[in-house]
Amino acid sequence: MSDYTPLKGTKDLFPDDHKYLTFLKKVFRHEFRKNGFRRITTSVLESNEIIGDVFGENTGGIYKTEDGCLRSHSAVGILRAYLNAEMSEEIQPVYYYFMDNYFSNGEMGYNELEKIGGEIIGENDPILDAILIYITYSILNKIGLENDFTIRINSIGIEKEKVKYREELISFYENKKHLLSEKSLALLESDPMLLLLSTEENEEILAKEAPAMTKLLKKDSKAHYASFKEYLDLLKIPYIEDHTLVGKFDFNTHNVWDFRVKGTHEQIALGARHNKLSTKLGTLKEIPATGFFTNTNVIVKMLKDKNIKIKNKDSIDLYFVQLGDEAKKAILPLSLQARDAGINTVVSLGTPSMREQMLKANRSGSKYVVMVGIMEARNGIFQVRDTIAGTQEEVNRDDLINYIIDKVGIKSLDFYCPAKDLINE
């Protein structure tokens, strides 16, 4: 027998999941648009050559196929698309936002994550980093999570400064190797900065005692970081400076930040400047870029844990049950009229028994159920049941639509006219 379970690290999203996810997309989309962002979606596959250029041998967390690598890092795909479309010829910086599935092949197996985030390309001003933080900060506050997260920031400077910092870390850990795991000992050789991200208790304590990168920043990087903090203060955004927060990739530069569920290591959002990424993709000069993404799974869980409900836009207002072809023909045009009037409407089909149809109607959660048999179809007088109040009354066929509108209220109607979004020139 077939196994219907989704692959490890993936999951199916049902209507209740989408209720929260659609809400988050709406909130972020509105905030992005207010700030001048436009949506971008990059190819779900990136070439193996591109991924190799960016990550070198460090592609263990990327799901690879013979044809390419599944989309895993938003900044890579967006900057690649920017270069391909020669967007540097446009007014800079360019503001993009994305709402897409990303994939990884990490230690926990194959993973799929719906990410929402933003990317700004073409300007090095740290005010842009602060704006990205403000967008997430503002949204979390607006959706009822204002007391449930902390913001951490740090600066990792530029490559020359990171070289010096790596040397400092190697020296710091030299006489502490016996306290490190095998994995961390390997990192000490390959990229000691990543040791600071360890969540192992002993290694976390060591990381807090390790030297801070900010003490090694030169004049320009120091000024960049100072301006970044100044803008955050101006926007009244609370933050914690944490020298153990470093970018995971060698193309990360200057400012890094994350949002964490208060009192945990769980990241809600992660952002960083990555000015060096463009040179990995083949440009002669660095193209300034900064971006972030949010873990929608974590935000949805936070909302559910706080018992924050989302209005159900998929609710059914009107449910027709019918018995016989004559009744079916009587309600078909009425159901279309109801939908055109903005009433979410379902017609019970394929079930001959009125009792079974009523059971379906009750399970659907519809506010009103209209029962039509042969007699009702002929005399035009329908039985309408209010499922909430448990009452029932007769309503004339010609009055039914207005009756339901009066009952559910105009604000509950679902109106959308595609023609309003079209421009005829």
- Compute the distance between CA of residue 244 and CA of residue 152 in angstroms, rounded to an integer: 10
Q: Which residues contact 159 (CB under 8 A, 6 or more apart)?
A: 250, 253, 276
Domain chopping of the chain, boundaries: 15-157+217-305, 318-412
- Compute the distance between CA of residue 273 and CA of residue 129 in angstroms, rounded to an integer: 7
Q: Right CATH number for 15-157+217-305 from 3.30.930.10, 3.20.20.140, 3.40.190.10, 3.30.70.980? A: 3.30.930.10
- Compute the distance between CA of residue 26 and CA of residue 296 in angstroms, rounded to an integer: 13
- Compute the distance between CA of residue 422 and CA of residue 220 in angstroms, rounded to an integer: 49
Instruction: State residue 107's pLDDT score.
Output: 53
Token couple for 380 = 């035009």
- Compute the distance between CA of residue 294 and CA of residue 136 in angstroms, rounded to an integer: 8
Question: Per-block average pLDDT, block size 10, for the chain (425 residues)?
Answer: 82 90 97 97 94 81 86 95 95 97 71 94 98 98 97 97 95 91 89 91 93 96 98 98 93 97 96 97 96 96 95 88 90 94 90 83 91 92 92 94 93 83 79
Instruction: State residue 7's pLDDT score.
Output: 81
Is the distance from CB of 382 to CB of 397 less than 8 angstroms?
Answer: yes
Please provide residue 237's backbone torsions phi and psi, each rounded to the nearest 5 degrees. Answer: -100, 120
Dihedral, CA of residue 275, residue 277, residue 278 and residue 280, to nearest 10: 140
Closest CA to 296 of 143, 132, 70: 143
CATH of domain 318-412: 3.40.50.800
